[in-house]
Structure 1
Amino acid sequence: MERIVGVVLAGGESRRFGRPKAFAKRKGMYFFQIAAEALRPAVQKLYIVSHPSLVLRFRKETNDEVIMDVEAYRGQGPLAGIYTVMKRTEADWVFVLPCDMPYMKASTVQKLVSCIDDAFDVIIAAHFDRIQPLVGAYHRRTINEMERLLEEGDNRMMSLLERARVRYVNEQHFQEESTVFQNINSPADHSIDGE
């Protein structure tokens, strides 16, 4: 049985960005591919959680499994994406990355994985005094709480963190450059490659 599966969250609509962020490029690689390659050495299987309109495009670009949120909670953000993957796997942990952190590194993921402790429900990055709920691992025991929140229409990641035993990993655990955790919200945030 798989212990850790990886998830690239690429289900957002990228409204501020003006086009699908997952398919923006840095150094010739799509953003979603950068996230997938950062995860790959640390996980036994990889999922791409896609917006419905992009499923076919992802499937042309990757051999990883491309899925959409379960229908009941479609459009309810990252919480729905993580929940969807938990429903598809028996893995103990689901390690999540967003598709819009093009400076993320495999070494960072490996360091976070080394901080996994089964005494906690969630292990997430909190470098530079910034909690990153979409950079870290969620134990499958959180699935019931996720379902409750989604049923209530509360899809805030912070609502889940308030109800879970969370290990916040920061500079005390390992040093990292701030750029690694930089989200790209508009093309002006970085000189990304053209398409």
Structure 2
Amino acid sequence: MEQMVGAVLAGGESRRFGSPKAFAKREGMYFFQIAINALRPFVEDIYIVSHPSLLLRFQQLTDEKIIMDEEVYRGQGPLAGIYTVMKNTKAEWVFVLPCDMPYMRTNTVANMIRYVDETFDAILSAHFGRIQPLVGMYHRRTLERMEQLLEAGENRMMSLLNRCRVRYVNEHDFIEEEGVFRNVNERDEYDDIVT
């Protein structure tokens, strides 16, 4: 069994941003590539979870595996994306990153992985008092709980976390700059990023 795969969540509609955030750039690199590069040294495979309308563009830009949310759960957000990756792999752990954290780095992922512990269902960043459900690892034993929630139309990530044994990693575990966890959601937030 593979130990760990990576999941880059890039299926959102980016309504507030105005265009798919995955293809925005920082320092000449697409946002989705920044997430891939952060994960690459530590995982067996990387899955980009995307929307059918973006499939062709991803195929033109990367050789990574591109998958769509399970059709029955399509539109149910990140929970459906993580579930879909787990359905496509036998890996014990899935390390999840969103495609809209352009300051994410390899060192952050390395530090998170140090806290892998089989007694937990998920290991997530909670730096600076902010839980990051999309920065960290989910054990495949959470798959059944995800499916139950999706079946019920309850797709909030916190609904899953409330049913799991979670290890929250924060600045007391390892020091990190706050900006690393910065999401870009609005177009004006993007204006101060070096492209």
Answer yes or no: is the 8 Å Cα contact 1:24–1:192 preserved in 2.
no
In the TM superposition, residue 189 of structure 1 has moved relative to its aligned partner by 1.0
The SS at the match of 1:7 is: strand
Which residue number in structure 1 is paired with residue 50 of structure 2? 50
Residue matched to 2:16: 16
CA deviation digits over 1:158-186, x for unaligned, max 9?
00000000000001110000000000011
* Cα gap change, 1:84 to 1:76, in 2 (>3 Å): same
CA distance in 2, matches of 1:77, 1:187: 21
Normalised TM-score (structure 2): 0.98
Taking every aligned residue pair, what percent have the same amino acid on both sides? 67
| 2:68 partner amino acid | M
Q: Distance in 2 between matches of 1:11 and 1:111?
A: 26
8 A contact 2:52–2:68 mirrored in 1: yes
Q: Judge conservation of contact 2:7–2:48 (CA < 8 Å) in 1.
A: yes
Q: What's the CA shift for 1:193?
A: 5.4
Matches within 5 A, 1:1-195: 1-190=1-190, 191-192=192-193
Runs of 4+ with >2 A deviation: 190-194
SS at match of 1:96: strand
User: What is the SS of the residue equivalent to 1:149?
Assistant: helix
Aligned length in residues: 194
1:2 Cα deviation (Å)?
1.2
Deviations 1:4-36 (A, max 9, x none): 000000000000000000000000000000001
- C-alpha distance in structure 2 between counterparts of 1:104 and 1:123, whole Å: 17
Q: CA RMSD in A?
A: 0.8
CA displacement 1:58-108 (0-9 Å, x = unmatched): 011001000100111001000000000000100000000000000000000
Secondary structure of 2:180 counterpart: helix
- Structure 1 unpaired stretches of 5+: none
Cα displacement (A) at 1:192: 3.4
Question: 1:95 is matched by which residue type in structure 2?
Answer: F
Give yes or no for contact 1:24–1:193 (8 Å, CA) kept in 2: no
Q: Distance in 2 between matches of 1:136 and 1:161?
A: 12
Q: CA separation in 1, counterparts of 2:194 and 2:52?
A: 25
Q: State the SS of the aligned residue for 2:111.
A: helix
Q: Output the CA distance in 1 between the equivalents of 2:193 and 2:171.
A: 28
CA displacement at 1:52 relative to structure 2: 1.3
Taking structure 1 as reference, are residues 193 and 61 closer, same or farther at Cα in structure 2, changes over 3 Å only? farther
Report the Cα offset of residue 187 of structure 1: 2.3
Checking the alignment, whether the CA contact within 8 Å between 1:108 and 1:176 is kept in structure 2 is: yes
SS in 2 for 1:58: helix
Residue 114 of structure 1 aligns with an amino acid whose one-letter code is: R
Q: TM-score, normalised by structure 1?
A: 0.98
CA distance in 2, matches of 1:94, 1:162: 19
SS of the counterpart of 1:38? helix
Are the structure 2 counterparts of residues 193 and 20 from structure 1 closer, same or farther at C-alpha, using a change threshold of 3 Å? Answer: farther
Matched-pair contact (CA < 8 Å) for 1:101–1:182: yes
